[in-house]
Amino acid sequence: MAESWSFLDAFEPNFRPLVVIELAKGTKEETIKWFTKRIVDKKANGGAQLLVKPLVTESGDENIYLIGASHLRLLLGAETVGLVKECNDNSMRTFTYSSRKTFKDFADDNHNFLTMAECQYIIKHELENLRAKDEKMIPGYPQAKLYPGKSIVRRLLTSGILVQIFPLHDREELKKLRQSWYGRVKVGYQPLDEIRCYFGETIALYFGFLEYFTFALIPMAVIGIPYYVFAWEDYDKYVMFATFNLLWSTVILEVWKRICAIMTFRWGTLLMKRQFEEPRSGFHGVLGINPVTGREEPVYSSIKRQIRIYLVSLPFVCLCLYFSLYVMMIYFDLEQWALDYHEENESNFSNLMLFVPSIIYAVVIEIMNRIYRYAAEFLTSWENHRLESSYQNHLILKVLVFNFLNCFASLFYIAFVLFDMKLLRQSLATLLITSQILNQFAESLLPYWLQKRHKKRMKKRICSLKTDTDLSLVEQVNLEKEMGTYFGTFDDYLELFLQFGYVSLFSCVYPLAAVFAVLNNITEIYSDALKMCRVYKRPFAEPTANIGVWQLAFETMSVISVVTNCILIGMSPQVNALFPDAKMDLILTVALVEHLLLAIKFIMAFVIPDKPRDIQIKLARLEFESLEALKQQQMKLAAESLKE
């Protein structure tokens, strides 16, 4: 079992495991042989030209393989995925093997030119692009059909032969990162560049956004505190606070785009060309010709998908939203009933009964959320999107709308139907604080504790075996493969999005929300960092240039909050007192102010450039250079043609 299939083994004595592949127990020998051969095979033969080593475990019945690659192979892979790196003259350029000498820190013996996360991303990319040639099925599994060009790894995953594929942690690097990230209590920025080196751009960008957002909330929090301390209730102060909040939220979202551009330019992802996206693994259809590539692949009619989206998914989502509103109405009825009951027969039991509706409602919301999430995933998958990105966008949209309603519908009801500002403030505070505490607990601390317990048990078991193989590596792989999988930044962004809603939607009623948000986010940074470093498997790095659809979601929220805040101010007794007998004038004034604020928001979003000037200049310079190079080439050609 200790044999290795790598043809390059002789040249690469120091095999460095980067990625782990776990095959199902009892996978046929024939299949393993074929798969590993394809992995190590030469590029020219349609292989990935990587290195493979089986991991020898104590029991011996597990099919775990370590994947690595030669330094040269990784450099060529970096060119294939289109990595952008810094050059000696401090400009950012797409890496090519032939121009490797011009890049900063490049040396033929410097194996740290590519970060480990980049190497793992390259290997993942190469594995996923391992495509079937003339195989009609996976050898040994006739039911797992293949067709020319189908990604082998994706078929192995969907047919259950490949259990998982994940990148290994680098224990030393991780220790260093932990140290500088949350090891010591300090005031300062997160080591975003180091996070990016270790976890990749998507995760670094999330932490960057979290940090930025926390800083951006501080002015709101600072201004909000005196409202609480001095119990200010003058309407003009509230109007000022709300106006500041609304304009401020526009500014911070625009400025984030600029900061994001600065970061992703430094990381090279701003310049990275979009690769052609292959169909996602769940995509199915009849075999046809892809009109873009001209290759054979499953095709699925776009009209059918539109029909599914608009005739099934959309009505279903609307129904769910309606149902959620219905449940909310029952909750308010129950609440009223409990209150009446308590008033009629005051007792300890009736006192307890007061809490029952809230508890039931909280439980029901949680259940509905879970069921809906499951349904949304099923529906979006059934819509059969060809691309992972389009799948993600449709899923995010569905979940976002439902969560928005679930979180804020009761607040809207209290504010705009019951007109009870005191209850609104109270509910807002309760919802915000409890959700923050629950999240922190459920998201990081609980898994961390479970993970720690599991680790201890594992360690004991492995130590008791006392084999003579490389214990630490076996131990590490076995530990990490049991760790939970981090499913992307979706839930983290969702949490921030809802928090932004709590802070901005009713900011003129509860100025203290920003304070709680800031406090939460400071601990959130630490608990999320803990989660990434200790609780979950290392995720594959994913290059990205922005936070994508979340930017739009946050901007939409800030538009909605203009409307809600204007209405709230218009409803406040202080403002009403200003227009004693002219309700109409009041409403017209509020509407006018709202439209003005919206207009200012849009003009501000239009006027503030999305990229800082120096980034714009750098991008323009790169474009200019490539145009010049083209022109030079043409000039040469022209001169030759005219000479003839």
Q: Where are the beta strands (DSSP E) in 547-632?
A: none
Q: How far is the CB of 638 from a second copy (least distance, A)?
A: 4
Residue closest to 5 by CA, chosen among 47, 43, 41, 55? 41
Q: How far is the CB of 253 from a second copy (least distance, A)?
A: 17
CB 448 within 8 A of CB 535: yes
Radius of gyration of the chain (CA): 29
Cα–Cα distance measured from residue 587 to residue 575, given in angstroms and rounded to the nearest whole number = 11
Nearer to a second copy among residue 286 and residue 639 (C-beta): 639
Nearer to a second copy among residue 367 and residue 387 (C-beta): 387
Q: How far is the CB of 555 from a second copy (least distance, A)?
A: 11
Q: How far is the CB of 430 from a second copy (least distance, A)?
A: 29
Nearer to a second copy among residue 211 and residue 388 (C-beta): 388
Nearer to a second copy among residue 95 and residue 331 (C-beta): 95
Q: Give the other-Cβ count within 10 Å of 516's Cβ.
A: 21
Q: How far is the CB of 178 from a second copy (least distance, A)?
A: 37
Q: How far is the CB of 121 from a second copy (least distance, A)?
A: 17
Q: How far is the CB of 415 from a second copy (least distance, A)?
A: 14
Cα–Cα distance measured from residue 419 to residue 396, given in angstroms and rounded to the nearest whole number = 32
The size of the chain, in residues, is 644
Cα–Cα distance measured from residue 264 to residue 612, given in angstroms and rounded to the nearest whole number = 12
Q: How far is the CB of 311 from a second copy (least distance, A)?
A: 15
Nearer to a second copy among residue 133 and residue 595 (C-beta): 595
Q: Is 30 helix (H, G, I), strand (E, B) or coil?
A: helix
Q: How far is the CB of 195 from a second copy (least distance, A)?
A: 30
CB 483 within 8 A of CB 537: yes
Nearer to a second copy among residue 253 and residue 432 (C-beta): 253
φ/ψ of 587, rounded to 5, equals -65, -40
Q: How far is the CB of 103 from a second copy (least distance, A)?
A: 16
Cα dihedral 107, 112, 113, 116 in deg (nearest 10): 160
φ/ψ of 319, rounded to 5, equals -60, -45
Nearer to a second copy among residue 532 and residue 553 (C-beta): 553
Q: Is 152 helix (H, G, I), strand (E, B) or coil?
A: helix
Nearer to a second copy among residue 231 and residue 584 (C-beta): 584
Cα–Cα distance measured from residue 619 to residue 270, given in angstroms and rounded to the nearest whole number = 9
Cα–Cα distance measured from residue 548 to residue 392, given in angstroms and rounded to the nearest whole number = 11
Angle, helix 235-267 to helix 613-643, in steps of 10 degrees: 40
Nearer to a second copy among residue 2 and residue 292 (C-beta): 292
In angstroms, the Cα distances linking 309 to 398, 399, 525 are 11, 15, 37
Q: Is 288 helix (H, G, I), strand (E, B) or coil?
A: strand
- Residue 591: CB partners within 8 Å, gap ≥ 6? 566
| Binding residues for a second copy (CB under 8 A) | 42-44, 49, 72-73, 76, 79-80, 96-98, 273, 275-276, 291-294, 302, 563, 583-584, 587-588, 591, 595, 613, 617, 620-621, 623-624, 627-628, 631, 634-635, 637-639, 641-642
- DSSP structure string for 513-524: HHHHHHHHHHHH
Nearer to a second copy among residue 482 and residue 628 (C-beta): 628
Nearer to a second copy among residue 60 and residue 294 (C-beta): 294
Cα–Cα distance measured from residue 11 to residue 26, given in angstroms and rounded to the nearest whole number = 32
Q: How far is the CB of 310 from a second copy (least distance, A)?
A: 10
